[in-house]
Amino acid sequence: MRTRKIISIIILLILAGGFILTFSQIPFGKDKINVAHYYISKGIEETGAVNIVTSVVLNYRGFDTLGEVTVLFIAAIGLGAVLFTEKRVQKHASKSKDDKTKKASLILRTGSNLLFPLILLFGAYIFVHGHLTPGGGFQGGAVIASGFLLMYLAFPKQSINKKSLSVVESLSGLIFVGIGLFGLIFSGYFLSNFLPKGIPNTLFSAGIIPIIYIAVGFKVGFELTSVIDDLLGRGK
């Protein structure tokens, strides 16, 4: 074991040397912006979104985000496939026998009842204003998923209907790809922003961005919930 440690330390030192050398070539904080100038200067009038990061994420580099959503989708499906067990049905039955699983404490149950709608509201706010304020579909989805996690903690016995989760997931995914395909049909470019841009800094602006972000928000929220559910091993 000792030799392994020594070797790995030597390797890491060499890697550190490599890092130092390459980082010295990339001065920290200097203005290295090159292609990004285009986004910054013409970002607003081309995409209509005030939040340039969102315009980059969805319009200029929308394909990445599509890939991104697919990765999450794969993770959820993969998790379902790997943790899929027929036994789950028996576990469900065995659970009813020994009912000793501790019920959550009163404070947790009432608190979560109160907080759950607020969390959902806050999450919805984040992904609806994706193109105006920092944050977007992914961050809003994560907040929603944390709400559902809270409910899982509060009510150990209940679990969400997996069927509906997967339907919402695939529907929102379809919306995203559908918009892309519509873009292809209308303006000849996949994922092009064919809807009217509207006035920047207002809610209904930046063409397809809010729609996509809403779809992504739902998708990420429910996907992370199904991931949590699979990991807890409770859902049907």
- Binding residues for other proteins restricted to 175-234, rule: CB under 8 A: 177-178, 180-181, 183-184, 187-193, 200-201, 220, 227, 230-231
Q: 48-67: which residues touch other proteins (CB under 8 A)?
A: 50-53, 55-57, 59-67
Distance CA 217, CA 209 (A): 12
Largest Cα–Cα distance in the chain? Answer: 65
Pair 227, 75: CB distance under 8 Å: yes
Distance CA 182, CA 234 (A): 39
89, 118, 153, 174: which one contacts other proteins (CB under 8 A)? 174
Cβ closest to other proteins, residue 80 vs residue 198: 80
Least distance in angstroms from the C-beta of 189 to other proteins: 4
Distance CA 100, CA 116 (A): 26
111, 155, 166, 211: which one contacts other proteins (CB under 8 A)? 166
Least distance in angstroms from the C-beta of 92 to other proteins: 17
Backbone angles phi, psi at 160, to 5 degrees: -80, 150
Q: 10-29: which residues touch other proteins (CB under 8 A)?
A: 11-12, 14-29
Asked if residue 45 binds other proteins (CB under 8 A), the reply is no
Assigned token pair, 232: 């807890």
Backbone angles phi, psi at 234, to 5 degrees: -115, -35
Cβ closest to other proteins, residue 55 vs residue 112: 55
Assigned token pair, 230: 């699979």
Least distance in angstroms from the C-beta of 143 to other proteins: 14
Q: 68-127: which residues touch other proteins (CB under 8 A)?
A: 68, 70-75, 77-84, 86
DSSP structure string for 180-203: HHHHHHHHSSTT---S----TTSS
Query: How many residues belong to the site for other proteins (CB under 8 A)?
Result: 101
